[in-house]
Structure 1
Amino acid sequence: MTSSITLCIPSSCISRSNCKNLEQATFTAYQIARAACTYNVGEIVILDVPENTEAEESNKIKFEEKNTTASDSSRLLASLLQFFTTPSYLVKSVFQASVIEYFKIAKKLPKISTLPYMQNDAAACFREGISIPKMSVVKKNAEGKVVKKKKPATTKYVNTGEREILELEKEIPINTRVTVNTKTKSVVSPDEAYGKAGALRTFGYHVRVATRFSSLFTEPGYTEGYDRCIYVSSGDYFSNEQPATGLPSYQKESNKRLLLVVAKWNDIQKAFKYETIEGVTEPQQMMDCTLEIPLGTRIEDGVLVSLAKL
């Protein structure tokens, strides 16, 4: 079963105005990841939102532990969301060392129990892995110099966290995240292994960053695109009423690919500000309906509430 839900959240949910340090940013990402796994979200899109004037002038969002530029907020959030669905034995293979240092809080949090490999005892023969090159023997020429070899593009070897590296029947591209059947020594789809798959037929949810508002719609993780775009007002702690978008209320429909945008309207307007889309003058023209949740809800809570109401 391929998920039909795409979740969009703003990068501002871990900005200085919402999270004062790495710990709070990590907890925010964790709650979003847990809700996404619980409700089988197939894709998470991070909408890169320009920060406030002061942050734009300094070009920095200052966490207590580490300075990050505004654009790094999206990358940090994306990395944290990916970390929470990555088996611990693959972390060093999947992420760069400079990124892993941001996981010091995340490593202490419980694994999300709804992840396929955490709950499916019947899928014991399936493992998550990453393809790696075969260890080559160093050869020297007559002059004693090391003979350079052309790096291979494919391999049969997969690191699955076991003592022995798994050798597949067929070669696959190097540094590819895969789900494998350890009995047949073959690559399988997450759908075959766990009964569900995310966007691009990936394990868990697929994460991408939308640096432009339009790319939220033009670069979908699903080849068919989205059937409905649902807006949920969340993260606005000072408004006493829903934003006046003029959009109708959401009505439940089956077999639809849904794009759920959970953000405060001001962030949507900021992201849309520099767009030049023919025939579109307001962001609500690219949306279909709204789903109301209690006012003043934080983004991470709004994600859980809105997913539960779909």
Structure 2
Amino acid sequence: MGKRQRDGDKRQAKESKKKEVIDSNSLNLLDIPRPRKYTVTIALPGSIVANAQSVELKTYLAGQIARAATIFNVDEIVVFSEDGQKLEINKGLDRNSKRTDENVFLARVLEYLECPQYLRKALFPMHPDLRFAGLLNPLDAPHHLKADKICKYREGVSLKRNGAGTMINVGLNTEIRIPEVISPNTRVTVSINDPEFLGRVGEGVTVSPSVPREELGLYWGYSTRLAAGLSEVFTHCPYEGGYDLALGTSDKGDTAQDASFKLRPFKHLLIVFGGLRGIES
């Protein structure tokens, strides 16, 4: 009798263990955020939009890049000029120009799409490069939070000084007050002291945009920068120690689907895409 009981206990324990394994495997691990310390950067030339026959098609192509970057949790996009020309985004100061450089055009649209919708009016002046950007589908990135979504972190824009601090618009029905003094129309990442506050004014502090990713595993969008040539992609890397792993894409390279292809451990990954003539040129 005792042996049968023990056998039954073993069988029950085995079945219970099997059930636990099935239950854990049924979870979609991609839906469970995990703190992430590493970063992923992609670099591509603005010339990739050169073959598009209209501004509308160029904008659509930029939207596809932004969506892919969001899906694959890209943290930084570098747009480099293949001719080494020095470039910068003038935040609308060049809006009367008849023709925008392709690199600047791509970077501007990428910046616009990454920005939460409730901040765009304050941060992006009217510009011809953006006239079709509003027609693109929203990225629905995790940091593009609606007013009814509760989250410890939110993107915001500084409004005005309030005593010793600054009022921040974070896309809620009420504003957040931070102790720091910040110039108006500055984009910041805010950590809200009580995300479920019901008062007229909430309290919070500014944090680095990398904090939601590093602490909660939340993808928090990508930054965009321009580089005067491929070499500047590396020399102006914003991360301490630079990119410790760099990959180039080419139709002449090894296939990533090959069983022998493996990535070594890294902290800051850079993936470089070539232009119409390929990365070798």
Report the TM-score when normalising by structure 1.
0.60
Kindly indicate whether residue 10 of structure 2 is the aligned counterpart of residue 10 of structure 1. no
Letter in 1 for 2:58: A
Q: Is the 8 A contact 2:43 2:273 kept in 1?
A: yes
> What's the counterpart of residue 254 of structure 1?
265
Deviation, structure 1 residue 266: 3.6
Provide the aligned length of Structure 1 versus Structure 2: 217
Q: Paired residue for 1:223? A: 240
| Aligned equivalent of 1:177, options 187, 192, 195 | 187
Aligned to 1:84: 113
The structural deviation recorded for 1:77 is: 0.7
**Shift in CA distance, 135/167, structure 1 to aligned 2, threshold 3 Å:** closer
- Contact 1:11–1:74 (8 Å) recurs in 2: yes
| Partner Cα distance (2:138, 2:109) in 1 | 13
Counterparts of 1:205-224 in structure 2 under 5 Å? 205-224=222-241
- Please state if 1:45 is matched with 2:78: yes
Preserved CA contact (<8 Å) 1:37 1:115: no
Q: Is the 8 A contact 1:9 1:46 kept in 2?
A: yes
RMSD (Å), alpha carbons: 3.3
Q: Percent identity?
A: 30
- 1:129-208 matches, within 5 Å, as 129-134=156-161, 156-182=166-192, 183=194, 184-193=203-212, 195-196=216-217, 203-208=220-225
Structure 1: which 4+ aligned runs deviate by more than 6 Å?
none
Gaps of 5+ in 2: 1-35, 85-96, 195-202, 255-259
The 5 A counterparts of 1:105-124 are 105-118=132-145, 123-124=150-151
Q: CA deviation at 1:242?
A: 2.0
Q: Does 1:28 align with 2:39?
A: no
Structure 1: which 5+ runs fail to align? Answer: 52-65, 137-153, 234-240, 271-310
In 2 relative to 1, CA 125–6 (structure 1 residues): closer, same or farther, beyond 3 Å? closer
Structure 2 distance, partners of 1:86, 1:263, is: 26
CA distance 1:189–1:213, change in 2 (3 Å):
closer
Q: Which residue of 2 aligns with 1:68?
A: 99
Task: Assess if the C-alpha contact under 8 Å between 1:3 and 1:41 holds in 2.
Answer: no
CA drift at 1:10: 0.8
Cα deviation for residue 134 of structure 1 reads: 3.8
CA-CA distance at 1:111 after TM superposition? 1.3
Q: Which residue of 2 is the match for residue 306 of structure 1? A: none
Alpha carbons of 1:95 and 1:37: their partners in 2 closer, same or farther (altered >3 Å)?
A: same
Does the CA-based 8 Å contact 2:47-2:276 persist in structure 1?
no
AA at the equivalent of 1:204 = G
Q: How far apart are the structure 1 equivalents of 2:267 and 2:212?
A: 24
1:70-95 Cα offsets, whole Å, 9 max, x none, are xx211111111111111112112112
CA distance in 2 between partners of 1:224 and 1:197 (Å):
24
1:2-33 CA deviation, whole Å, 9 max, x = no partner? 44211001111111xx2111111111111111
User: What amino acid sits opposite 1:6 in the alignment?
Assistant: T
Counterpart position of 2:22: none
Label 1:192 to 1:231 Cα distance change in 2 as closer, same or farther (>3 A). Answer: closer
Q: Which structure has the greater CA radius of gyration?
A: 2
Structure 2 matches for 1:216-295, cutoff 5 A? 216-233=233-250, 242=252, 251-264=262-275, 266=277, 268=279
155-164 vs 205-214, which moves further = 155-164
Judged with a 3 Å threshold, the aligned counterparts in structure 2 of structure 1 residues 67 and 49 are, in CA distance, closer, same or farther, namely farther
CA contact (8 A) 1:14 1:77 kept: yes
Q: Does the 8 A contact of 1:232 with 1:262 survive in 2?
A: yes
Contact 1:243 1:265 in 2 (8 A): no
> Separation in 1 of the partners of 2:237 and 2:116?
26
Q: How far apart, in 2, do the equivalents of 1:5 and 1:125 lie? A: 24
Kindly indicate whether the alpha-carbon contact (under 8 Å) linking 1:123 and 1:193 is maintained by their aligned counterparts in 2. Answer: no
Match of 2:91 in 1: none
